[in-house]
Structure 1
Amino acid sequence: MGTGGRGVIPARSPVAHQGTCVAIGSRAILIEGPSGTGKSALALELIDRGARLVGDDSLLLEGRDGALVARPHPQTRGLIEVRNLGLVTLPVCDEARVALLIRLDENAPRFIETAQIAERAGCALPMVRLWPAAAPLALKAELALRKYGLPSGERCTG
């Protein structure tokens, strides 16, 4: 997303956001959905495949230079809820540029031709809705990132 030749887009103040986020290489996936749809479970599957946790259930989102940046919320930094086990501490990525929003949705379409667009913290993101019970969900999320995600930005820090 360019600045339209008008200079640098100023950073916006971080906003608290309910969602889960993992970084895969230099791009992050923001995962949203109703309670109990498997946001943390999808994050764990992606972490098992090499992703890094940014935050679970509570994040700070900030528009910066035309990109959406996700950071862990200080009160939940490094924690992820593992159903039947409780809160587990994991290594955390302190900041990542979000390239894709995945919405876990039982009414997700069977096929899509393009990603939808959603706005978070003043930034437009490609959004793909995935049916939460349709395995292999982590592989679908990675494929969606590859096909619809914004291009690579800066590397995950932390």
Structure 2
Amino acid sequence: MTGTAAPAPPPTIHAGCVLVDEAGILIRGASGTGKSRLALALVAGAQASGRFARLVSDDRCSVSASNGRLVARPPAALAGLLEVRGLGLVEMEAEGAAVVRLVVDCDTEAPERYPQSTDRTVTVEGVTLPRIRVLAGEGGVTAAVILGLLPRFERPMLHVLSER
């Protein structure tokens, strides 16, 4: 034994993550706020319009900062599983990781109509990301809005480079 400790695993948070095109969407919220329903609606909505979409993780997510980006991965025990209320755990095709471009917080109270600019971002593991607050349980409507806005958050460096 060399005495060197193995690196600590990245922290897990109570959140799910989906990958749409090249953008990871981290979905946070308390139990019962519709995180899994929103994840399923995002994947189904994106796939229905011909876009690439897959589950990364449901309920728990390992997150770590890497080169100024937040990377989300499923904990091994939950990889490829999605909880559907009334059915239990169902298997889904899943990705092993995603670079998070957007954080969606499912709240039990309606978000402000015009949020303060300080409420439009959140810092996770030292990485500041755009954030949208949504009312819990409005998965289908919320998914449509998020999918419509997502191009604003995808591959931000390419948008900066293309403006030159």
When the two structures are superposed, what TM-score results if normalisation uses the length of structure 1?
Answer: 0.80
Q: 1:108 and 2:111 equivalent?
A: yes
SS of equivalent residue, structure 2 residue 77: coil
Greater C-alpha Rg: 2
Q: How much has 1:133 moved relative to structure 2?
A: 4.1
Residue 145 of structure 1 corresponds to: 150
Q: Deviations over 1:105-155 (max 9, x none)?
A: 1231123475622111121111110122445111122234234x25357xx
Alignment of 1:75-154 (within 5 A): 75-105=77-107, 106-112=109-115, 116-134=120-138, 136-147=141-152, 149=153, 151=155
**1:14 deviation in Å?**
1.9
Q: Which runs of 5+ in 2 are unaligned?
A: 1-7, 48-52, 158-164
How far off is 1:57 after superposition?
A: 0.5
Q: Secondary structure at the match of 1:136?
A: helix
Residue in 1 that maps onto 2:75: 73
Structure 1 residues 67-108: Cα deviation after superposition (integer angstroms, max 9, x where no partner): 000111111111100011100000111111000000011231
RMSD: 2.1
Q: CA deviation at 1:47?
A: 1.4
Q: SS of the counterpart of 1:19?
A: strand
Report matched runs for 1:17-36 at 5 Å: 17-36=13-32
Question: CA deviation digits over 1:6-45, x for unaligned, max 9?
Answer: xxxxxx9621111010000111100011211100000011
Name the % identity. 35
**8 A contact 2:14–2:29 mirrored in 1:** no
Paired residues, what number? Answer: 141
CA distance in 2, matches of 1:143, 1:110: 18
Distance change (3 Å), C-alpha of 1:117 and 1:83: same
Q: TM-score, normalised by structure 2?
A: 0.78
Q: Indicate conservation of the 8 Å contact 1:26/1:152, yes or no.
A: no
Moved over 4 A (4+): 112-115
Q: 1:133 to 1:13 in 2, by over 3 A?
A: closer
- Counterpart mapping for 1:35-50 below 5 A: 35-49=31-45, 50=47
Quote the Cα distance in structure 2 between the aligned partners of 1:32 and 1:144.
18
Q: Which structure dedicates a bigger proportion of its chain to helix?
A: 2
- 3-state SS in 1 of match to 2:146: helix
